[in-house]
Structure 1
Amino acid sequence: MNANANLLKNLVVISKIDAFIAGINSEKKKLVDQLAAKRQNLAALELSAKEKAYALRERKLYYEREDLHLKESQQKLVERRKALTTLGSYKLQVAAEREIEAAARQLAAQEERYVNTLDELDALEAAAVETKSAFETATEDLKNFQEEAKETSKVLEERLKGYMTERDAMVPLIDQKSLALYNRVKDKYPMDAVVVFSQNACSGCFLELGPQVTLEIARGNALVRCRGCGRILFLEDSKEE
């Protein structure tokens, strides 16, 4: 086996290791993103719960004022009707009756607003309860997720440590120039920097390169890269068992 063939085998091995490392880092990032999303959702629910609770308090105060005002208006109307019988003048009675009718219409409008306020209160209270419940559920969900994520992170870190140890052992087996080239390709394709050349095509981007590339790889004079995607190519029988 010539030096380049051995180099290619080592690059295949380190590429596999780096694919595992990239996968683990992707899982770690996913955990971080999920945690951030859950925290953001919880913060939004907390703000919404506070806003709805405030709106409910304000509407209750308005309802209490309307309730008091309505009772006062009802009492005044009753008193006016009682006073109507004490008026001796017909003209005064007619004028008083008109005032009572106007007051009755105002009272009816007040009562309608009062009923509408009750409906609004019911809706606001239901929304506040629903949001509070959602906040409590999200709080518990975040707590559970943090605990699970902590354990998952430990497992991922152990796996990552193992693969990094394997990678460190492979690095000295690859010359600096080839390693620098490989690392540039890996930065672009972390999951598959080194791919099989099969049926005259790159298995990374599926570009057909022709049979001459098979000969170039087989000769092993230099590393061969796909002219389409830039990945390093190897033949199936060059793959380390």
Structure 2
Amino acid sequence: MAVVKVEDIYFRRGDNEILRGLDWEISEGEQWGMLGLNGSGKTSLLSIISTYEFPSSGEVEVLGNRFGSTYLPELRKKIGYVSSSLEKFSDFFWNETIERVIVSGKFASFGIYEQVIEEDWTRANYLVKEFRLEHVKEKKFRVLSEGEKRRVLIARALMGEPHLLILDEPCSGLDILAREQFLEALEIATKNNVHLVYVTHHIEELVAEMTHVLLLKEGRVVASGPKHEVLTNELLSETYKVPVSVEWRADRPYLSIK
């Protein structure tokens, strides 16, 4: 079973064609990065595979569920989502303890409105430990640093044991230390039987755990596949519309302008 499969999808808003005949597939065991300039179609593609948008045409299958014959709100519960933009909902978390924020992820809700069983608190405490948040245990979300808040949000996304975890520019606005602490947490995520889709403008965030990369340009695929085959000078220069050079250190790519 493919984790994600999109075939010849188009996505239009009015007269604006955002995605154009896009094909892409995520197989079991793969962890994907997604790169492209603003306006390349990244956000629209994420909205589709996270079940919040339908393509204008084409076929989409996520976790074995084909769009058009699937109840999407139920499928959505199997998909974790972390984004810096989630912090616009921080008012819902503001006075909650980190444990309650994490548990709310089981229900994909902002706040807890359903019955929580003992096993839920046990899993929340396990995630607190896994993500090195024990020093802020039982603290209110509002007092956390930005880096700690992002780690709470990724723990929240894993609370429901999703098979697919979408990370949309999760390090945006973080300082270097907080970014590296967050990126270390990706190793924990991959050990929780989850498949990542990591979207970023900064290719050095594609840590060793990332196995594959999708490059987008103007709504089309420039290249997709194993990261060392895709992250080349030629393909990245085409994607970014400027001559660039990539250097690898500790299995992480670093970009410079030629």
Compare relative contact order (CA 8 Å, sep 6+) and give the higher one, 1 or 2: 1
> Which structure is higher in helix share?
1
Asked which structure has the greater CA Rg, the reply is 1
TM-score, normalised with respect to structure 2 = 0.20
TM-score, normalised with respect to structure 1 = 0.21
